[in-house]
Structures are given as structure tokens and as C-alpha cells.
Amino acid sequence: MPSMTKVRYEVRGRVALATIDGPPVNALGAEVRAGLADAVERANKDAGVTALVVAAEGKAFIAGADISEFGKPPVAPSLPDLLDAIAGSSKPVVAAIQGVALGGGLEVALACHGRVALTGAKLGLPEIKLGLIPGAGGTQRLPRLIGAAKAFPMMLSGEPVSAGQALEYGLLDEVVSENVVAVASQLAETLAATGAGRTAADRLTEADREAFEALAAEALKKAEGAPNVPALVEAVRSVFSLPFAEGLAVERRLFLELVADERSKALRHVFFAEREVAKLPGIGPEVKPREILSAAVIGAGTMGGGIAMCFANAGIPVTLIETAQAPLDNGMNRIAAIYDISVQRGSLTPEARAQRLKRITPAVGLTAAAKADIVIEAAFEEMGVKQSIFTGLDKVAKPGAILASNTSYLDIPTIAAATGRPQDVLGMHFFSPANVMKLLEVVRTKEVADDVVVTAVALGRRLGKVPVVVGNGFGFVGNRMLEQRTRATERLLVAGALPHEIDAALTGFGFKMGPCAMADLAGNDIGWRSRKARGLKASVADAICEAGWFGQKTGRGYYLYPQGARAGQRDPEVEALIARISAEKGVTRRSFTSEEILARLLDPMVNEGARILEAGIAARPGDIDIVWINGYNWPAWRGGPMFWADSVGLDVIAKRLEALAAETGDKALEPAPLLQRLAAERKGFGSLKG
Ligand code: T1G
């Protein structure tokens, strides 16, 4: 039997009190479940006790089931058994909620006979975000308490509601600003005296069922193949057709099927990987961030403007600096135009727009950066330009100011060497559009001070980003792997695949766009310029650029975009050009299945990820997954490239890479030593501990 140290039991007058103390978030692990079950049993056996209150210490009432326990052998008491004990208690049980009551935590509260919460509390069933559905009565009790038409959207979105909203819905009996335990005890005594609250008020009217069915139909249309949406519909629908106990059984069956589903395993991996990424190897909690009260951005182009918007949106005053008035005016006009679109869409009020614009001070010349606590350079991707900017910043920036470059692949130590303060210089690589994309690669050099890294990560969070600390190296993590996919695309086009087939393979996998459509959107000339600067060739991509087909901005690239259409159409001229290039290379074109295309695109990326881990450029495989999910729209329900590779099997991937290397004669495609070793040991990247 698990120990019960995480639940304190005491009796105050006629009311017993069970207080959960299971930091950090009172997750319903075995010890918490055992402690609560014991409290219910003791309260029911104690003749001097008329009721029981369940309360908690810390920032959460209960954050839900312990996600790390899923997929492991069950430990009694199970959560459903605990909830049966609470609901079946001969004496009323009242929940005293502070912080968050999420998932199984809200299901504990739902099994109680009354619920009181502190203002500021949040209540929700976020299981849908983990590829699941509530698995301990939530789909059966919540609709009975507040109606299915209100309960279903809560479970479908997974978003919590405020204490006030919950009170309005009838999910809470009271909301108080203090003394939640005392008020819960009074309610418990009242329920003991009156016997009320024994069963949830039944809100399941015909009108409610119809409203629910309409919402369910909508949800099913947008499910996009996610199995937990139809499962949620089936579970909630059963409240109208089955007795409670049978409905519980339906919910449990569906829940257990989803726990075993690959999508849920991937989403649970992402949940923990997103938290792991915040742990910076070799930097302890004693290293505190520097204070950032103001910023400066060098360069008012697309990236610089987007970065300045990030600061303005986060309430941090920012100076946007250019070399001359004209590009500065262009940059400011572009920012205002982007805010105008948000106002037109209703996602930004005109007042907020004005406030944000006011936080951006345009200026010409580096001296305007003199007072900034952090300066982010977002100038032209050319080392000489960056070195001269950093030499200039070194002269004007105040001591202790952090100097960051937004470069997407250039060498940070070389940039830092242009200053006399390399300990204050690092990379902060935003992704376009910078005011939208979540990923921020924080590039840590050997010389940068730990508190500078900690400051960049904390600032990234304040800007609403997902910061991932990466090592210095060409293309860092994301772009270094993206280059492998770009090369693979070129190989496939020459070997016989067509742009729409390559893109369809990736969109069928779950990406929003494939590589050819992406290139057309971003502008094919960007890659073309980068290849020329590095003396690299890509026959098809270069030929398309030599024809001036830069993509959407020129009306054609890999595809045709008639009258500025957003969705590209196949272009016979491009397909003829590709065929001609194959012929010139003496290649006999052949067709490829989507599965072959997917393997040829993703295996080399995974191989590069293995090399990145070998070089210590990423601390953990999960960090690479977080980079690709937040920076390149890798579908979260696929877990990220390294998680995906484990689900395929590294031995399978290693064999495919060996065959590809032999077919192309490109030794760089041979499996990396780390991948080979893990494959030989029949392990996955998940076996590596960061
Ligand atoms: N299980 C296990 N660990 C958890 C956890 C959970 N439910 N929630 C948080 N943690 C860990 C987290 O990994 C981190 O660990 C630490 O707690 C702090 O988390 C049967 C099936 C509660 C809003 O989905 O939304 O109930 O990194 O950094 O920013 O129907 O955590 O310190 O080692 O996120 O203050 C449903 C998930 C579960 C809620 C707090 N519940 N958690 O945010 O801290 S499934 C959830 C959160 C379920 C039932 C179903 C947030 C938070 P470490 P943190 P935070």
C-alpha cells in the first residue's frame, strides 16, 4: 500500500479535514490517492464526524492524474475507485479549491457533494490536450451538474473556466475571497444536516441534448482524425441514454483505448519535453536573470519589426533602430499595418494598438541603444555587417547590457569577438513571423555568462515564446535539420517525384505545408542567395530562381499562383523543367509512394538530430522535438522528429539511411554513430537522459 504522507488528516469540531500536500502540483499519484481514500474511510468510521472537507496546499488544488503514471501498471486505489468512495460516502464530502482543479482534480471535486473555491481559482478538464478524454467520471458528472451544452465545450477545448464562471454554471456552490476551508466546512455541516447535495442536479433536458448534438456535429467536422473527439462525443452522449454506472463504463473503456493511442503518447511526451527544455544543464536555480526594463532592436526589416512587436506586445518599451530614416519609416509602417490587420480581425482593440505602437520608439543610429538593457540585432545575414554593428554596440551600449544576434545560422563567437564583452553576447534566434512563431533558439557560447543565458530564457517566456537553449553551430538546431529536408526535396525532385507529391506526403503526415509550398511562401530567392553565398548548388531550386520564379511574391515558384491565389496550382513548365534536369543528369525518373517520400525527407533530419546530440548542440532529444513543433509546425500529436523516429524504430531508420547512402553515393547520409549505437542496442532516443 503506498504511504499516505501526502495527505494530512485531522478533525476540527465535527468536520474532518483532509489536506493534500504533494508538491509541486498535488498530482493524483498513488500516495495522494491512498491518502484521500484513507481520509474518506476514517471520516465515515468516526461517529464524532459528520462531514469531510478535502483541501490542498500550494499553487494547485489538484493538477490532475499523475501523467507520468500512464502506461505503467496500475497501483490501487485507482482514481475511479477513489471517486466511487467519495461519491458513495455516507457523510458529505466538500471540496475547498484554491489554485487550479484540473483533470482528475476537477473530477475529485465533481465526486464531492459540494464545492467552494477561492477567487482566482481555475477549473478545467484539459485531457483533450493530451489526446485523451476525462477518464474518472468527468464526462458523466459534469454534464449532469451544468448541462451537456456547457460541459461539452469545456471538455472539447480543454480550457479552464474562472471561479466566477464556474459559479455561474452551477459547478461551484460558493466563491470566497478567503477562508475557503472554513466556508467549505460550514457547507459540509449544512449538507450533513439537510442531506442535500447527495446527487448532482440533473440538467439533462431535451433542449440540452439538442444543443449538445449540434455542438458535437460541429466538433466532429473539425476533428481532423483525432480519435479523442469522437470518443468525447460518445462518452457525453451516453449521459442521455445510459444509467450513470453504464456511462462510467463507456467513458473508462474509451479513456483506456486513448491512453494506448500513439497520438496521446506523443502529446504526453510533448507535455514533459516542454517542461524539461526549461532545465538548463549546468545552470542552477541560484543563477538569477538580469532585469530587463527596456530593449533596442537593430534593423527594422521583417524580422526586426516582428521582434520589436514582441517587446511592445509584452509591455516592454523598445527602440527600433535603422541606419536611415527611409528604411525606418518602412519598418514602422509595416508594424502599424500588421496591428491594423489585428484590429480589423477584432483580435486587438484600437486602444491596445495605440498603446503598443507608443512603446516602439523609432531612431536612426546605434547611439539610441545606449540605455537599453538588451539589444537584439536583426540586420542583414552577412558576417561583416554583423561584426561592424557589434563593434559599434560595444562602444555605445551600457555596461551589463545583453547583446544578442538574431542570426539564423552564423557563428556567434565570431560575432561576439567583434566586442570586448563576449560574456554578454549570445544568439536569440526568432522565427518568422517573429511576432507569431513561438520558438526562440537561445544560442549559448562557451564564453557567455550563465546569467545572460538565464535572462534570455526568462525574457523569451515574457515575450510568449518557447525558449530552447542550443549550442553554437551552423544552423544551430532547427535550420541545420531543415537543410537536410531541403536537400532531400531536391534529390526527390531529380529522382522522379513532383512538388505536389512531396508536399502531399508531408501534409498527409500532419504538417500544414510541404517544403515546396513553404519555399514559395517564404521566397525561393532567400535559399538561392544563401546557397550562392556558400557556394552550394541545387539544380532544380536554382533553375526555378534563374527563371525568376521566386514564389507567391512573383506569382509563381514551384507552383502557379494566378491572381495572387494563396493555394498554388501545378505548373507544367516547372514539371517540364524538372524532367529536363533529370535527363541532363542521366537520371531515369521513377515514381515514389508517399511513404517513400516521407522516409527520404524525415530520416536525414533525424540523422542530423543525432549528430546535433552527439555534438552537444541540443541537450536532449526532447529539446529537438520542441524546436520542430514550435518553429516548423511539426504536428504535436506526432511528438517531434526524435519521438517519431523512436516510434518507427531506429533500426528501421538506420537501414533506410544505409540504402539511401548507397543509392545516392552520399556518405553524409549514412547513419550517425549515435543512431547506429542505439539501433544496435534496440533502444530509442528516449533512452538518453538529458
Ligand atoms: N502529472 C504529473 N506531473 C505534472 C502534472 C501532472 N498532471 N502537472 C504538472 N506536473 C509537473 C510538471 O511536469 C513540472 O515538473 C511541475 O509539475 C510543474 O509544472 C483521469 C486522465 C498545473 C497549470 O493536464 O497544466 O487528470 O518540471 O511547470 O507552469 O481524467 O502543470 O518541475 O519536474 O507546468 O505552474 C490532466 C497539467 C492530467 C494539467 C501548473 N491535468 N499541468 O503550471 O508548472 S490527465 C493536466 C498543468 C487527467 C483524468 C485525466 C500545469 C499547471 P518539473 P509546470 P506551472
Contact (CB, 8 A) for 41 and 82: no
Q: Which of 604, 602, 581, 605 is CA-nearest to residue 496?
A: 581
Does one domain contain both 412 and 360? yes
Atom of ligand 1 nearest to the CA of 105: 26
Strands (E), 256-406: 295-298, 318-322, 360-364, 374-377, 402-405
134 CA closest ligand 1 atom index: 30
DSSP state of 687: G
Q: Which three cell numbers stand for residue 466?
A: 518557447
1 within some domain: no
Domain of 505, in residue numbers: 498-584
Ligand 1: residue whose CA is nearest its atom 30: 134
Domain tally, the chain:
3
For residue 565, what pLDDT is reported?
A: 82
Please check whether residue 487 lies inside any domain of the structure. no
Statement to judge: residues 251 and 315 lie in one domain:
no
Residue 687: inside a domain: no
Which domain-ending residue is among 550, 584, 618?
584
Catalytic residue among 107, 189, 274, 608: 107
* Residue 169 and residue 117 share a domain: yes
Top mutation candidate among 67, 78, 84 for ligand 1, by most atoms within 8 Å of CB:
67
Q: In CATH, what number is assigned to the domain containing residue 325?
A: 3.40.50.720
Residues 435 and 507 in one domain: no
Is 509 in the same domain as 427? no
**Do 185 and 314 sit in the same domain of this protein?**
no
Q: What's the CA-to-centroid distance between 34 and ligand 1, angstroms?
A: 19
Q: Decide if 33 is inside a domain.
A: yes
- Render pLDDT for 68-108 as a digit per residue (tens, 0 to 9): 998 888 899 999 999 999 999 999 999 999 999 999 999 99
The overall average pLDDT reported for the chain is 95
Ligand 1 centroid to residue 65 C-alpha, Å: 9
* Catalytic-role residue among 57, 69, 127, 608: 127
Q: How many whole angstroms from 63 Cα to the centroid of ligand 1?
A: 6
Ligand 1 neighbours by CB, cut-off 6 Å: 24-25, 27, 59-60, 63-68, 79, 100, 102-104, 107, 126-127, 130, 132, 134-136, 138, 272, 275
- Are 47 and 54 in contact by the 8 Å Cβ rule? The answer is no
Tell whether 22 and 162 lie within a shared domain.
Answer: yes
Render pLDDT for 602-620 as a digit per residue (tens, 0 to 9): 999 999 999 999 999 999 9
Secondary structure class of 530 (helix, strand, coil): helix
Q: Please, which pLDDT band fits residue 257 given cuts at 50, 70 and 90?
A: very high
Q: Record the cell numbers describing residue 451, joined without a space.
A: 546569467
Structure confidence by residue, pLDDT tens digits, 548-599: 999 998 999 999 999 878 889 999 999 999 999 999 999 999 999 999 999 9
pTM for the full predicted model: 0.93
What SS3 state is found at 178? coil
Characterize the bridge pairing of strands 15-20 and 51-56. parallel
pLDDT of residue 4: 64
pLDDT classification of 199: cutoffs 50, 70, 90: low
**20 is a domain residue:** yes
Give yes or no: 501 in active site.
no
Q: Do 122 and 162 touch, CB atoms closer than 8 A?
A: yes
Please say if 107 is a catalytic residue. Answer: yes
pLDDT digits (tens, 9 = 90+) for 646-671: 999 999 999 999 999 999 999 999 99
Residue 624 within any structural domain of the chain? no
* Domain assignment of residue 196, yes or no: yes
Going from the C-alpha of 478 to that of each of 408, 415, 673, the distances in angstroms are: 9, 20, 20
Residues 252 and 336 in one domain: no
Rounded mean pLDDT of 247-273? Answer: 96
pLDDT at 204: 84
Query: Are 437 and 508 in a shared domain?
Result: no
